[in-house]
Chains A and B, each alone.
Chain A
Amino acid sequence: MAHNIPNANRLAKLMHPKSQAMVITNVKDENSSMRTYTLKASDDHELAYFSAGAYIPVILEIDGNKIERPYAICSSPKDSVNGIYEISVKRMDGGYVSNYIYENWAVGTEVTLGGPGLGDSYSPIRDKKHVIGIAGGIGVTPFRSMAKAIVEGDVDCELTLIYGANTMEEVVYKEEWKQLEEASAGKFKCVLVIANEEIEGCEHGFVSLDIINKYHDVTDASLFISGPAGLVKHMKTILAPLNLQKRFVRIGMGGDSQFAPMEKAGQDEYKILVHMAGETREIPAKSNETILVALEKAGFVPAVKCRSGVCGFCRSYIVKGEITLADTEIAVRKRDKELGYIHPCCTFPMSDLEIIVHRG
């Protein structure tokens, strides 16, 4: 609509763009395996605003295939008003996308982002005044955004960040945590928990209830947990006896998690007959790979966002065949399950399948 677009519609378009044309203006090595990229609009467009903690899709074309991955925005909402986003990427062993980014993104590289919206952020209505963040690995990135937003006055809460790493070298944003603490008038504190080294001013070992309680009563805070599957599992275990309300324990998205199927299939390989908007093609699928991965390997570009089973954007229909779900929390509606609708990002084939998917 070029003519007098109502502001409600204009805002909706701004907040949920299909794509944002960006260019990289800065690359910073946080350590040997994580880099932070600063991006600004390459066409002067107004950046989509977000709440601290949000993820944003990076839309890539690799070897002729369109691929999308969500990354946490580690800059603050105010930074986006000032025209920039920052995202940190950790190079993973065998990581298709992270290695591509590492090898190809440099100052001046043009990048396409989607609209922010996945992930969890602070809710003054739902959450307590004090947040305890438990972070590890790349899961620490949304907390940088949150801490900045607290300092900038856009989030009204206190944050104690318990940040675990194996070695000091792995810890990122070291200087920034200190600067943010100083600027926060006591609202933000970062506690480093180093597993394999004894370092002055840091805790030693793994995150434990004792360590957390030393800084803030774990039963009187909202917990935001963001990190690799191992950390999440560990936290669930140590928190279990406390019987905390679900309301006060938020577990981060995890990003491109490595799921395992709940049941073991009879065969290693199956065939999937795929219908997508008038195109019909049979593709191979492995029983230990999600249907989404099978689709992407075969060159399809289906609708997908979180890749974690929670957003529902990849909702597809099983015409025929048996499937098993991933061993993770999946937000498929009851009725959808009954009727045969699934989220291919967290579903594995247990027989030959016929499915209907939608374009991205």
Chain B
Amino acid sequence: MKHYDAVVIGAGNGGIGTALALTTAGVKTLVLEKHNLPGGCATSFVRGRFEYDASLHAMFYDLLFKNVWENQFHITSPVTRVPDIITVAYTDTDGKNVYMDLPLGARELVMAIEKEIPGSAPVVQQYLGLCGEVLGAAKFAKSPDFTPELMQEKFPHFQMLMKMTAQEVFDYLEMPMNIQAIFNNLWWYLGPKIDEFPFFRYAPVVMMLVTMPTYFPNHACHGYLAEMETKIRENGGDVWLNTEVTEIVTKDGKVCGVKTNHGDYIETTQVIADVSPRIVFEDLIKEDSPKKQALLERQKDITENFSFTIVYLGLNKSAEELGIKAHHLFIADAADAKETYEASRGWEGPYCIGALCPNVTVKDFSPEGTCVLSLSVPMLGSALDGMTQEEYFKAKDEFAQKIIKTTGEHLGIDLFDCIEEISIATPATLSRYAGVRNGALGYARTFADIRKNEAATAQLNGGNPEEVYEGLSFVGQFAFGIGYQTNVTGIPVAMKVAQTIKGGN
């Protein structure tokens, strides 16, 4: 019988980061992953001459990763700074296609938008000002100089903004829809309806995107995941791929081991699940108890996030030849994000497309004279309800045609003329890779769901033996929210587990 101090279920972006922290702290750790690769959604795949990143657009490297990666994990996988330009292309309220290449930096952005839309400078400036207030206030709240009076003086709108949705702030400023379009079609980066999304979550990301450098890993996410996989083993940990956990064995409310689909039984008192808690309580913990039911019901009460359909294109022309200037291209068939949000329930438009061309940043991301263009369209997993396999295959291809057509129209490029490779991922694909219901990436980001999610995670990782299973903690996007920071947000959990083990519990 095998014994490990800690077992990490799921070698996703969160599980791998947590396992690396555990092994760095000297904990004898086993990572079990049902896929044949680490990373979950944070992975890459090869088709023909092209390697695609499955899901990453860009990382706030300095803010979220640099310190941990360089000082704690000693990661050497290179990242390259994304150039300070974004492309925004949308259909305005008159049905006209608008295209802008915009510089980043708050002042530069205001001036550039004013050039495209004369008269817009004041409202754009005000908007960025309010975004900046939220970001600044959050930072100031943690400062030793904080007092409520100073807070009110420095950030006079903060109290009001904390209660408003992203849409309400646009309305408060009376920002025309065609200017809203520049900012509000970013909704898919974060969550659902713009009129349900808390401004205090939206604003920091807008501000960060506009003012902070982002980075892209030279070898896609797999580059750093593979390095972390290697380091876990070098630290004395083990990573077993193609191994699915089928049961978390508990006794008297405590974790005592895990079973796998290969018939393994691994003895352990600490399990860290990079798995949706709902799946853990519904499928992996077999006992029927009020404790389990309560924890399960709490998870069911939180709304699932949306998923994506992603069209990955390997193009046989370079980004320069095609006139693609930006790493991020934000494309929308409607100025009003509420319309594109509604469309994400199904396969029809108006579409909101997050296009990505990593070659703009990493010049040799694909062979010379080629480039990669991936097109991400938010889509609820329920858009697949009722489909047969045959219908699904057809729907996928038809959808891809439409997405490529609309992207090409907005960018002024004949994409169909240069497609050498094409792959399509849908919520079904994501449900398989990330082992999640409906391909949903974490929980929805409304006020209510964020609060419920945070409270539920605090309970799960809080260790109250009356309410939770002792020795079971959670990391990853269902615990801490969607985004690549899952790679580091599990570290406090790892440290707590390491403490517990060293304490001889």
Contact = CB atoms under 8 A, between A and B. Distances in A.
A338 to B, nearest CB: 8
Contact of B2 (A46, A247, A278): A278
A3 to B, nearest CB: 7
Interface stretch (B115-123, B131-139, B333-341, B377-385): B377-385
B390 A49 contact: yes
A15 B427 CA distance: 13
B432 A125 contact: no
A317 B427 CA distance: 31
A210 to B, nearest CB: 28
Interface string B231-245: 001000010111100
Contacts of A51: 393
Contact of B243 (A7, A310, A359): A359
Interface stretch (A27-35, A83-91, A328-336): A328-336
Contacts of B384: 6-8, 11
A329 to B, nearest CB: 9
Contact of A81 (B381, B390, B439): B390
A246 B316 contact: yes
B51 A8 contact: no
Interface stretch (B185-193, B249-257, B415-423, B448-456): B415-423
Contacts of B429: 12
A358 interface: yes
A247 B389 contact: no
A279 to B, nearest CB: 11
Contacts of B381: 6, 8
B400 interface: yes
A11 B389 contact: yes
Contacts, number: 141
B226 A312 contact: no
B44 interface: yes
A48 interface: yes
Contact of A359 (B222, B242, B307): B242
A77 B390 contact: yes
B154 interface: no
Nearest to A356: B233
Interface string B23-59: 0000000000000110000001110110100000000
Contacts of B37: 312, 315
A42 B77 CA distance: 49
30 contacts: A1-B437, A6-B382, A6-B384, A6-B431, A7-B382, A7-B385, A8-B381, A8-B426, A8-B431, A8-B437, A9-B431, A9-B438, A12-B432, A15-B428, A16-B432, A49-B390, A125-B404, A126-B419, A246-B316, A247-B316, A277-B243, A310-B46, A315-B241, A333-B226, A334-B51, A335-B219, A339-B230, A358-B243, A359-B243, A360-B242
B348 to A, nearest CB: 18
Contacts of B240: 277-278, 358-359
Interface string B275-286: 000010011000
B409 interface: no
Interface string A1-39: 101001111011011100000000000000000000000
Contact of A3 (B2, B241, B282, B428): B282
A270 interface: no
A341 interface: yes
B238 A333 contact: no
Contacts of A335: 77, 219-220, 222-223, 226-227
B389 A15 contact: yes
Contacts of B387: 7, 11
A11 B51 contact: no
Interface string B425-450: 01111011000011100000000000
B44 A333 contact: yes
Contacts of A48: 389
Interface of B: 2, 36-37, 44-46, 48-49, 51, 77, 219-220, 222-223, 226-227, 230, 233, 238, 240-243, 262, 264, 279, 282-283, 307, 316, 381-382, 384-387, 389-390, 392-393, 397, 400-401, 404, 416, 418-422, 426-429, 431-432, 437-439
Interface string A320-346: 000000000001111110011100000
A277 B262 CA distance: 10
A313 interface: yes
Q: Which of A1, A46, A314, A332 has the most chain B CB within a 10 Å cutoff? A: A1
A208 interface: no
Nearest to B239: A356
Given A303-B242, A333-B46, 14 more contacts: A6-B385, A6-B438, A49-B392, A124-B401, A246-B49, A246-B316, A247-B420, A277-B243, A312-B36, A333-B222, A335-B226, A356-B233, A358-B36, A359-B240
B238 to A, nearest CB: 7
B166 to A, nearest CB: 28
Contacts of B222: 333, 335-336
Contacts of A356: 233
Nearest to B427: A8
Contacts of A81: 390
A104 interface: no
A340 B262 CA distance: 26
A51 B394 CA distance: 10
Enumerate the 6 nearest inter-chain pairs by beta-carbon distance, A residue then B residue, closest first: A49-B389, A335-B219, A247-B420, A335-B223, A331-B46, A12-B432
A303 B241 contact: yes
B204 to A, nearest CB: 31
Nearest to B432: A12
A76 to B, nearest CB: 11
Contact of A358 (B242, B390, B437): B242
B282 A1 contact: yes
B390 A125 contact: no
B226 A336 contact: yes
B420 A339 contact: no
A245 interface: yes
A274 to B, nearest CB: 14
A341 B230 CA distance: 10
A123 interface: yes
A347 B237 CA distance: 26
Interface string A35-77: 0000000000010110100000000000000000000000001
